[in-house]
Chain A
Amino acid sequence: MDSVQKRELQLQANQIRQDIIKMTGQAGSGHPGGSLSGVEILTVLYNNVLKMRPNQPDWPDRDRFILSKGHAAPLLYAVLASKGYFPREELWRLRKLGSMLQGHPDLKTTPGVEMSTGSLGQGFSVSIGMALAGKLDKKDYRVYVMLGDGESQEGIVWEAAMAAAHYKLDNICAVLDYNGFQIDGTNSEVMSVEPVADKWRAFGWHVIEIDGHDLEAIAAAFQEAQTIKGKPTMIVARTIKGKGVSFMENEVDWHGKATNPTETEKALAELQKIRG
């Protein structure tokens, strides 16, 4: 990644953050915290990694991405709009009656959404089926999936983890958005998920640990994952919930609450300043 590229991705990530704040602010509800923590990961994924054709969302050879932590829908929508899956204006109709952008991702209404998610744990399980089908059809598309740390308390996550290793699904690359928070508090207060990396290794996964806001590290991790044969890869990405908005960072209350107009302005002003 050269410096020009990096600068471009930084600008794009910043724009995605602004979109998340604006979307949820206008909607009056939604999940900004866990959307903001995954911004760099999805920015790199959609700009540098995924094989895709936004004007042909069902292109059979495309790489798949499933947002298993479906409540971060604003993040996914902002990224999909930036890639041209649908007009940007749609973002401002988030969560409104009849909108193509439902409160949680809905494959029936939104081009580019590979799976309806929102019930935690399910999207990850669905990625196993997509990867199995890819192997069966001898296709070389890859399946990417993003999980939350709280989400990984669900039993099905570990059923799926076991199955992915059993079937040697090296065409799966998962990312754990490890921001340390869920709804009722930090993971360690609610239900500790540590030692995370050891758990995934014990389940037969190749594990890469990175800073989930470091664009170069994210790109390198996705690249490393593509070279791993015979086992699936989990990228454990350390992130900050609410990243980029000072009053949201590591504040559990911003999990599922939108900014009011004053807060929206404040957040946008901060982000615009960083953009410089």
Chain B
Amino acid sequence: MEKIATRDAYGNVLVELGREHNDLVVLDADLAKSTKTIKFKKEFPERFFDMGISEQNMIGTACGLALSGKIPFASSFAVFATGRAFELIRNSVCYSKLNVKIAASHAGVTVGEDGGSHQAVEDIALMRSLPNMTVIVPADAVEAEQAVKLAYEYCGPTYIRLGRAKVPVIHGEDYKFEIGKAHVEKEGKDVSIIATGLMVAQALEAAEELQKVGIDAEVINMSTIKPIDVNTIVESAKKTGAVVTAEEHNVINGLGSAVAEVLVEHCPVPMRRIGIKDAFGQSGKPDELLEIYGLTAGDIVKEVKELRGRLL
């Protein structure tokens, strides 16, 4: 399967959008080469603003641009874009409900060798706690491209979580992403695996393994964490009676928490959360780290079997 990093898809589609739309502007905080906004910078230097290493002022400036009719995409690493600038995002972007897009790369442990200081495991939690914010976590390059295009069209604060590592392209060109709508990647009746980001590919791999032992898993790609698709979660849980979530994020306040919130209110079923168990990351190769933090297809298989075993 072809592998492309979602940040690369972002860099490419920005240029494409830039050619169509004059009101698109891009800001970065001295990481254009890593976030891939450099491609936009090369083609549209007059609409690209490097704000230097000042993430707070980057977000504030984006607000001013949005208030003046521009559609700004602001990029940095997820740790800095959401963490350093958090209160700017709270008070200037979300409280004021401004049309600012924050597209942050290097989310999760697959940042790799740079280590824990650079691996955001809390960004979904931070962003989804803010009123007015929409939170999107694309699973692959195809979805990332569509998410960026739809974020451009959508009017309101938006956070797009992008990754550094190359991830399998699981969707064909005919795939259609909608903000706020989960996508059932594979139907099944025995267990619902609800995943986000690069864990969707792992979930699909796990489903294949599970099929071999007679477990028919449904795989749901929850690419919009907020607003979350309540219907799809509840319908699937009603059908299968068991849910396992999978995310490259702290299990606290990420996808697993969001799904649990829906289930306890609408359809309480036994559930397990796969994710980083309230820990920071560390240096290593992306694949090594996915293994250490229990974020592989094998981990999903194990969790599903364990949960099913308890239920039988």
Write the residues of chain A forming the contact surface with B, with a CB cutoff of 8 angstroms: 60, 106-108, 114-116, 118-119, 121-122, 124-134, 136-137, 155-156, 159-160, 162-163, 166-167
Given A115-B63, A133-B65: A156 and B91 within 8 A (CB)?
A: no
Contact A156 B57 (CB under 8 A): yes
Contact B61 A126 (CB under 8 A): yes
**For residue A159, which residues in chain B have a CB less than 8 angstroms away from its CB?**
51-52, 54, 56-57
**For residue B91, which residues in chain A have a CB less than 8 angstroms away from its CB?**
116, 118-119, 122
Counting from the closest, the 4 A-B pairs by CB-CB distance are A129-B64, A125-B60, A133-B68, A159-B54
Contact B65 A163 (CB under 8 A): no
Cβ contact of A115, chosen from B47, B67, B87, cutoff 8 A: B67
Q: How far is the CA of A119 from the CA of B25 in the complex (A)?
A: 25
Cβ contact of A133, chosen from B60, B70, B97, cutoff 8 A: B70
Cβ contact of A129, chosen from B47, B66, B87, cutoff 8 A: B66
Cβ contact of B64, chosen from A107, A133, A162, cutoff 8 A: A133
Q: How far is the CA of A108 from the CA of B96 in the complex (A)?
A: 7
Contact B67 A156 (CB under 8 A): no
Q: How far is the CA of A115 from the CA of B57 in the complex (A)?
A: 15
Contact B64 A132 (CB under 8 A): yes
Question: Least Cβ distance of A145 to chain B in Å?
Answer: 10
Q: How far is the CA of A130 from the CA of B92 in the complex (A)?
A: 13
**For residue A121, which residues in chain B have a CB less than 8 angstroms away from its CB?**
56
Given A133-B69, A163-B51: A115 and B56 within 8 A (CB)?
A: no
Contact A126 B56 (CB under 8 A): no
Contact B57 A125 (CB under 8 A): yes
Question: Least Cβ distance of A133 to chain B in Å?
Answer: 3
Per-position 1/0 for B87-114, Cβ under 8 A of A: 1100110011100000000000000000
Given A119-B87, A126-B92, A136-B46: A114 and B67 within 8 A (CB)?
A: yes
Question: Least Cβ distance of B25 to chain A in Å?
Answer: 7
Q: How far is the CA of A122 from the CA of B90 in the complex (A)?
A: 11
A sample of 6 cross-chain residue pairs with beta-carbon separation below 8 angstroms, ordered by A number, consists of: A122-B92, A125-B59, A133-B65, A136-B47, A136-B70, A156-B60
Q: How far is the CA of A81 from the CA of B258 in the complex (A)?
A: 44
Cβ contact of A125, chosen from B46, B52, B61, cutoff 8 A: B61
**B55 and chain A: residue at smallest CB distance:** A159
Question: Least Cβ distance of B59 to chain A in Å?
Answer: 8
Contact A129 B65 (CB under 8 A): yes
Contact A160 B25 (CB under 8 A): no
Question: Does B49 belong to the interface (CB within 8 Å)?
Answer: yes
**For residue A162, which residues in chain B have a CB less than 8 angstroms away from its CB?**
52, 54
Contact B52 A129 (CB under 8 A): no
Contact A128 B56 (CB under 8 A): no
Question: Least Cβ distance of A112 to chain B in Å?
Answer: 14
**For residue B56, which residues in chain A have a CB less than 8 angstroms away from its CB?**
121, 125, 155-156, 159
Question: Least Cβ distance of B18 to chain A in Å?
Answer: 13
**For residue A156, which residues in chain B have a CB less than 8 angstroms away from its CB?**
54, 56-57, 60, 88
Given contacts A107-B96, A137-B68, 17 further A-B contacts (CB under 8 A): A114-B67, A115-B63, A115-B92, A116-B92, A124-B60, A125-B57, A128-B60, A129-B63, A129-B68, A129-B72, A130-B64, A132-B49, A133-B68, A136-B25, A156-B54, A160-B60, A163-B54
**For residue A128, which residues in chain B have a CB less than 8 angstroms away from its CB?**
57, 60-61, 64
**For residue B96, which residues in chain A have a CB less than 8 angstroms away from its CB?**
106-108, 115-116
Q: How far is the CA of A130 from the CA of B61 in the complex (A)?
A: 7
Q: How far is the CA of A108 from the CA of B67 in the complex (A)?
A: 12
Most buried by A among B64, B91, B96: B64
Per-position 1/0 for B64-87, Cβ under 8 A of A: 111111101000000000000001
Question: Least Cβ distance of A47 to chain B in Å?
Answer: 24
Q: How far is the CA of A130 from the CA of B60 in the complex (A)?
A: 10
Question: Least Cβ distance of A110 to chain B in Å?
Answer: 12
Question: Least Cβ distance of B61 to chain A in Å?
Answer: 4
Question: Does B193 belong to the interface (CB within 8 Å)?
Answer: no
Q: How far is the CA of A108 from the CA of B131 in the complex (A)?
A: 14
**For residue B69, which residues in chain A have a CB less than 8 angstroms away from its CB?**
60, 133, 137
Q: How far is the CA of A115 from the CA of B59 in the complex (A)?
A: 14
Contact A163 B52 (CB under 8 A): yes
Question: Least Cβ distance of B306 to chain A in Å?
Answer: 46
Question: Does B201 belong to the interface (CB within 8 Å)?
Answer: no
Question: Does B62 belong to the interface (CB within 8 Å)?
Answer: yes
**For residue B61, which residues in chain A have a CB less than 8 angstroms away from its CB?**
125-126, 128-129, 132, 160, 163
Q: How far is the CA of A108 from the CA of B59 in the complex (A)?
A: 19
**For residue A131, which residues in chain B have a CB less than 8 angstroms away from its CB?**
64
**A66 and chain B: residue at smallest CB distance:** B64
Q: How far is the CA of A160 from the CA of B57 in the complex (A)?
A: 6
